[in-house]
Amino acid sequence: MTSLNLMKVLTAAALLWLGTFSSQPLQAQPALLQNAPGRSVLSLNGSWNYIIDPYENGFYDYRREAFDQSKSGKGGYYDNAKPSSKQEEELIEYDFDKSQAMQIPGDWNSQRPELLYYEGTIWYKKSFALAPKPGKRYFLYFGAINYEAHIYLNGKKLGMHKGGFTPIQYDITEQLSASGDNFVVVKADNTRRPEEVPTINTDWWNYGGITRDVFIAETPATYISDYKVQLAKGDANTVAGYVQLAGEGRANQAVTLNIGEAGLKQTVKTDGEGRATFSVPAKKLARWSPQSPRLYAVSLTSSSDVVQDRIGFRLIETRGQDILLNGRSLYMRGISIHDENPLIPGRARGEGDLRMLLTWAKELGCNYVRLAHYPHNETMLKLADEMGLLVWAEVPVYWTIAWENPATYQNAEQQLTDLISMGKNRASVVVWSVGNETPLGEPRLKFMSSLAKKARALDDTRLISAALELHRTPDNVVHVDDPLGEFLDLTSFNEYAGWYWGGKPGEITKYTFDIKYNKPVMVSEFGGDALAGYHGDANTRWSEEYQEALYVNQLKMLSTIPGLRGMTPWILADFRATRRQHPVYQNGFNRKGLISSTGQRKKAFYVLQEYYRQMAQKYDGK
- Residues lying near ligand GCB in the complex (CB under 6 A) are found at 203, 373, 436-437, 494, 525, 570, 590, 592
| Closer residue to ligand GCB in complex, CB, 218/525 | 525
Least separation in angstroms between CB 478 and ligand GCB: 15
Residue 560: CB atoms within 10 Å: 11
- Helix, strand, or coil (residue 408): helix
Least distance in Å: CB of 6 to ligand GCB?
A: 47
Q: Of 196 and 437, which has the nearer Cβ to ligand GCB?
A: 437
CA distances from 111 to 51, 106, 191, 200, 345 (A): 14, 8, 18, 23, 10
CA 49 to chain centre: 27
Burial call 203-219: b when 16+ CB within 10 Å, e when fewer: bbbbbbbbbbbbbbbbb
**At its nearest, how many Å lie between ligand GCB and the CB of residue 376?**
15
Cα distance between residue 154 and residue 383, in whole Å? 35
Strands (E) in 475-543, as ranges, are 477-480, 491-494, 512-515, 521-525
Nearer to ligand GCB, 421 or 590 (CB): 590
Choose between 175 and 590: whose C-beta lies nearer to ligand GCB.
Answer: 590
Q: Which is nearer to ligand GCB, 105 or 435 (CB)?
A: 435
Q: Considering beta carbons, is residue 104 or 577 the nearer one to ligand GCB?
A: 577
Query: In sequence order, which ranges of 424-527 are alpha helices (DSSP H)?
Result: 442-458
- Least distance to ligand GCB from the beta carbon of 439, Å? 12
Distance between CA atoms of 246 and 514, rounded to whole angstroms? Answer: 52
Nearer Cβ to ligand GCB (79/394): 394
User: CB-wise, 124 or 147, nearer to ligand GCB?
Assistant: 147
Contact present, 25 and 414 (Cβ < 8 Å): yes
The secondary structure of residue 146, as a DSSP letter, is E
Evaluate whether 120 touches 54 at the Cβ level (below 8 Å). Answer: yes
Task: Give the integer Cα–Cα distance in Å for 108 and 210.
Answer: 8
Nearest-angstrom CA–CA distance, 359 and 380:
12
Please state whether beta strands 235-246 and 275-281 pair in parallel, antiparallel, or not at all (unpaired).
antiparallel
- Residue closer to ligand GCB, measured from CB, 96 or 496: 496
User: Which of residues 110 and 590 has its CB atom nearest to ligand GCB in the complex?
Assistant: 590
- From the CB of 78, what's the least distance to ligand GCB, in Å? 36
Closest approach of ligand GCB to the CB of residue 13, in Å: 38
Q: How far is the CB of 173 from ligand GCB (least distance, A)?
A: 41
**30 DSSP 8-state letter:** P
Omega of the bond prior to 105 within 30 degrees of 0, cis? yes
8 A C-beta contact, residue 609 and residue 364: yes
In angstroms, give the least distance from the CB of 520 to ligand GCB: 20
Q: At closest approach, how far in Å is the CB of 212 from ligand GCB?
A: 21
Neighbours of 174 (CB within 10 A): 9
CB closer to ligand GCB, 45 vs 524: 524
We find the least distance from the C-beta atom of residue 348 to ligand GCB, in angstroms, to be 17
Contact 139, 217 (CB under 8 A): yes
For the CB of residue 381, give the shortest distance to ligand GCB in the complex, in Å.
21
Q: Looking at beta carbons, which residue is closest to ligand GCB?
A: 203
Residue (203 or 226) nearer to ligand GCB, CB: 203
Residues 63 and 148: their CA atoms lie apart, in Å, by 22
Q: Are strands 564-567 and 332-337 parallel, antiparallel or unpaired?
A: parallel
In the complex, the smallest distance separating the C-beta of residue 495 from ligand GCB, rounded to whole angstroms, is 9
- Phi and psi at residue 408, to the nearest 5°: -65, -45
Of 154 and 586, nearer to ligand GCB (C-beta) is 586
Least Å from the CB of residue 456 to ligand GCB:
23
Beta bridge mates, 567? 333, 523
Return the closest-CA partner of residue 368 out of 420, 425, 308, 433.
Answer: 433
Residue 483 burial (CB count, 10 A): 13
Q: Which is nearer to ligand GCB, 278 or 403 (CB)?
A: 403
Torsion of CA 55, 57, 58, 62, to 10 degrees: 140
Q: How many residues does the chain have?
A: 622
| Residue 622 burial class via C-beta count within 10 angstroms: exposed 0-12, middle 13-18, buried 19 and up | exposed
Instruction: Output the smallest distance, CB 96 to ligand GCB, in A.
Output: 37
CA distances from 350 to 39, 117, 124 (A): 17, 23, 20
Q: Which helix (H) or strand (E) holds 207?
A: none
For ligand GCB, the closer of residues 139 and 493 by Cβ is 493
Q: Which of 615, 527, 512, 507 is nearest to 570 (CA)?
A: 527
In angstroms, give the least distance from the CB of 475 to ligand GCB: 24
Question: Please, which residue, 119 or 469, has the CB nearer to ligand GCB?
Answer: 469
Strand 101-104 to strand 46-52: parallel, antiparallel, or no bridges (unpaired)?
antiparallel
Torsion of CA 533, 539, 545, 547, to 10 degrees: -100
Closest distance of CB 339 from ligand GCB, Å: 13
